[in-house]
Amino acid sequence: MNILFVCHGNICRSPLAEGLFARVAREEGLDIAVDSAGTAGYHQGDLPDQRAIACARRHGLELSHRSRQVADSDFRSFDLLIAMDNENVADLKRRAPSGTAGKIHLLRDWDPAGPGEVPDPYYGDASDFEHVWHLCERSFPRLIDSLRLRMKA
């Protein structure tokens, strides 16, 4: 199973989701490859935003991901492309090769508090990054459950 988390620039939300989900999957004993990418290539090759790095560190996680843009091959290589907001979903669906749009989902579709978007913290402060962390953390148990069902099928 391969999962790609996607946001706009791949320096805030998706690297946090990637890092946290990789840890959760490991703790759950699941063999899942995790990566992240952005729909835009503004920050290609950059480390995550310093505030994302600081947020992850507060939770005992080091982020070393280098930003990259979603590639055409990602639609074939990944079983799920999990976007942070509706704009990301729309961008991915526009680019999706025939037969791959069903792989695209919104992260908070697995949020027990209800579906919605993971807001972009880029123009915010540390509390906005913490909010992203908690939305991911809250959504991942249901995502893990759905992946276990997929892996059994």
- Asked about 136 being catalytic, the answer comes back as no
Active-site choice (49, 51, 120, 136): 120
Task: Provide mean pLDDT across the span 25-49.
Answer: 96
Closest-CA residue to 80 (of 28, 136, 143, 130): 143
Identify the three-state secondary structure at position 34.
Answer: strand
Q: List beta partners, residue 83.
A: 6, 106
Instruction: Give the whole-number percent of the chain exceeding pLDDT 90.
Output: 97
Annotated active-site residue 13? The verdict is yes
The C-alpha atoms of residue 111 and residue 83 are separated, in whole angstroms, by: 13
SS3 104: strand
Q: Is 120 a catalytic residue?
A: yes
- What is the pLDDT of the chain when averaged over all its residues? 97
- Say if domain 2-147 classifies as CATH 3.40.50.2300: yes
Q: What is the pTM of this model?
A: 0.97
Give pLDDT, residue 125. Answer: 98
Domain boundaries of the chain, sorted by first residue? 2-147
In the chain, pLDDT over 70 holds for what percent of residues? 100
Residue among 7, 12, 55, 136 flagged as catalytic: 7
89-114: pLDDT as tens digits: 999 999 999 999 999 999 999 999 99
Indicate the SS3 state at residue 89.
helix
Catalytic, out of 12, 13, 55, 85:
13
CA torsion through residues 114, 145, 80, 134, sign: positive
DSSP element (H, E) containing 140: helix 126-152
